[in-house]
Amino acid sequence: MASGGGQFVGYAPGGGGGASGAGANGNTTWALGGSGAISSITGSSVTYATGGISGGYQAPYNVGAANTGNGGGGGSSTNDGPNGGSGIVVIRYRVS
């Protein structure tokens, strides 16, 4: 279940909600996105579905990592926000 985004405070909106945590409230510049969900279904521990960093003054340009479903960062008055990461589908079945 996704969590909510943070609140607009000061000059920046809140970060986007992630799979297991809300985004941080905005501050005078920008805010972090919420935490994702960790899974080892593929054999490696990977964090999926993190929230995107908010847009705002001096916000980092944060592209969501490929194959994670992570959120991209928000835009600003002068730049569009980057894309979020593509998702994946993992099918696990028992071999007899």
**pLDDT, tens digit (0-9, with 9 covering 90-100), for 49-72:** 999 888 877 777 788 889 999 998
The DSSP string of 63-76 is PPPTTTTPPPPP--
Look at residue 9 in the predicted model and tell me its pLDDT: 60
Mean pLDDT score of the chain, rounded to an integer?
82
Residue 6 has pLDDT above 70, yes or no: no
pTM, two decimals, is 0.77
Residue 32 has pLDDT above 80, yes or no: yes
Look at residue 42 in the predicted model and tell me its pLDDT: 84
Say how far apart CA 49 and CA 96 lie, in whole Å. Answer: 32
**pLDDT, tens digit (0-9, with 9 covering 90-100), for 75-91:** 877 778 888 999 888 88
CA-CA-CA-CA torsion sign (87, 88, 89, 93): negative
